[in-house]
Structures are given as C-alpha cells and as structure tokens.
Amino acid sequence: MIKDRFGREIDILRISVTQQCNLNCPYCHREGETSIEPVMSPAEIAKIVSACAKAGIKKVKITGGEPLIRKDICDIIAKISHIPGIEDISMTTNGTMLKDKAQDLKKAGLKRINIGCDSYTSSILEKTAGKIKPAVTAAKDAGLDTIKLNMVVLKNINSNDIQKMIEFSKKSGAILQLIELIETKHNKQFFNGHYYPLKSIEKELASKADKIETRSMHNRKKYHLNGAIVEIVSPNRHEFCANCRTLRITSDGKIKPCLMRNDNLLDIVSGIRNKIPDRELNSLILQGIEKREPYVR
C-alpha cells in the first residue's frame, strides 16, 4: 500500500469523465475543476487507471459533471474492470438517467452507486418521490450494492427534510450520506446563504444510534438507527483531509492531488498521447501522490 508524505494510505482514485451536467446546481464544486478542455477517451482513462493500479490504487470512483451523459460510459467501466489490481468500481451520479442504464452499468463491472438527492429548486421530497425512487429501484434491480443517497445539507432548502430522508433510506435499504456544503470560488453567495454545519445533526444521531462505526476514509462516522444507516461527510473538518485516501484525475487528464486546489496539477494524458513509456506514466502517478497535502490542517 502506498502512502503519501503525511502517512495517508492512497488506495482510491476519483476520476472525472466529463464536465458536462444536465443539472448544473449553483453550489456544485464540480470536483474542483474549471477546465473546458476535451475529455479523455476510454482507452486513455484505462491507461491512467492501470498506472494508478501499479502504484497501489484498488478502488475507482467515477464522477463528473454527470458521468451518465457520456455515451461510452459502459465502455469506460468495462475497460477499468479488466485492470489487474482494481477491486471495486463505483460511480456518483445525479440519478436522472440511471433507470435505463443501471443494468448495462452493472454488466460492464460497476459495483456500487451513489445517487445525488440534493436539490436547490424543488422540495427534496418531491424530487425523491419523482426521480430518486425509480433510480434506487433500478440500481437495486440491477444488483448494484451498496446504494448510497448523497444529500448535501442546505440551510433553508432541505435541512428540515433530514428525518424524512432517513425514513426513505430505511425503507429503500440505501445508506444516506449527509454531506456538508463546501465553499468554492464560484458558490460564495450560495454558501453564505445555505451553509449548514453538520455538528448538531451528528450529536442528535449519536444520541439515537444503536451503533456507531468509524470508517478509515475521512474518519467518517456511520450511525445505525433502527434499520437506517446514515453516514456523515464533513469536508470542512481537519479529520476529512487528515484521513483522505483519494487521488484524483480531472476530465481533461490531469492528476489532481486535492479537491480544493488547482495549483499543483500534473498533466498525464499528454504523456499518453505522446506515447511515453509506462514507467514514466507510473512515475507521474508517484509524483502526484508526492504532491498531496492536507488542505484543512
């Protein structure tokens, strides 16, 4: 297992496959990307994942933009699933296109899925009934497990819906992930109006929980509540960065050591296009890992 300079084991690759999205939520961090450069081909993505696997990466999370916008998404997953050393492929999606694609994604090699449930326009509960429920059903029918519901908690928008989302998660068997809003250069006004710290929610969950687990990833707490499971993701806390196990790749083929920074990217896809030897690609991945630093100290 490879470690960075801060002793953090790196076994997860978060790879963005497009910057396009059919929702364009005003608060979205877009995985820290600002690029509008062309995206990578499935073969280029596979080559990068292969180099990462040689460095010790075992799990791949596919993200975007909205990954299901890509017509070749199943090809991307199939290629990654054949790479020696890769044990797990998951995806985060807004779920709007999942109903028709879940079976093919599973067949291609996808194992787990996170479905975005936050909404800034309509009530989250309306959205859950209308769009999320069919997406969860499709994911279940396809045999994807685990299914997680990602909910960025937003003050005055959905912060009063948490209890109902816990009930929905219990009924559907999906894990609810409550995510704290991250501030970016582009969402400052939104952040100031809608940031909702999760400490008080965590206290309440802790007082009601049958069991509390702590995951090594970000030191996240997982609360078991009478059949429901709720996980807390607090990217603004020191422990999130201190326990980050993720290397990132941008949709235009750059190694991105940290979600919050764009001043330490390393171009890797140009190397692939220029046919540099595999050992140089491997060395670029190691350089990317070397550049990792906790953002929140």
> Which residues lie near ligand SAM (CB under 6 A)?
21, 27-31, 63-64, 66, 92-94, 116, 118, 150, 152, 179, 181-182, 187
* Rounded distance between C-alpha atoms, residue 147 and residue 114, angstroms: 6
Closer residue to ligand SAM, CB minimum distance, 130 or 227? 130
Closer residue to ligand SAM, CB minimum distance, 133 or 286? 133
Task: Give the strands of the sheet with 228-233, arranged side by side.
Answer: 211-214, 221-225, 228-233, 175-180, 147-153, 112-116, 88-93, 59-63, 12-16, 246-249, 254-256, 266-267
Query: Closest distance between ligand SAM and the C-beta of residue 233, in Å?
Result: 8
Query: Closest distance between ligand SAM and the C-beta of residue 198, in Å?
Result: 11
> Which one, of 201, 203, 141, 156, lies nearest residue 177 by Cα?
201
Cα end-to-end span (Å), the chain = 24
CA-to-CA dists, residue 199 to 44, 179, 180, 202, 233, angstroms: 41, 11, 10, 5, 11
Query: Closest distance between ligand SAM and the C-beta of residue 183, in Å?
Result: 7
CA 136 to chain centroid, in Å, comes to: 17
Closer residue to ligand SAM, CB minimum distance, 16 or 50? 16
Closer residue to ligand SAM, CB minimum distance, 4 or 33? 33
Query: Closest distance between ligand SAM and the C-beta of residue 120, in Å?
Result: 10
Q: Which residues are within 8 A (CB) of 63 and not within 5 positions of it... i.e. 6 or more apart? A: 14, 15, 16, 17, 31, 91, 92
Taking phi over 0 as left and psi of -120 to 50 as alpha, with beta for the rest, 58 belongs to alpha
Closer residue to ligand SAM, CB minimum distance, 191 or 282? 191
* Rounded distance between C-alpha atoms, residue 213 and residue 200, angstroms: 18
Q: Which residues are within 8 A (CB) of 261 and not within 5 positions of it... i.e. 6 or more apart? A: 32, 295
Asked, as a colleague might, if the bond just before 121 is cis with ω within 30 of 0, I would say no
Closer residue to ligand SAM, CB minimum distance, 30 or 292? 30
Closer residue to ligand SAM, CB minimum distance, 40 or 152? 152
Query: Closest distance between ligand SAM and the C-beta of residue 189, in Å?
Result: 13
Query: Closest distance between ligand SAM and the C-beta of residue 187, in Å?
Result: 6
* Rounded distance between C-alpha atoms, residue 165 and residue 201, angstroms: 13
Query: Closest distance between ligand SAM and the C-beta of residue 67, in Å?
Result: 6
Closer residue to ligand SAM, CB minimum distance, 118 or 202? 118
The tokens for 181 are 């809003």
Query: Closest distance between ligand SAM and the C-beta of residue 102, in Å?
Result: 15
* Rounded distance between C-alpha atoms, residue 111 and residue 151, angstroms: 20
CA 85 to chain centroid, in Å, comes to: 20
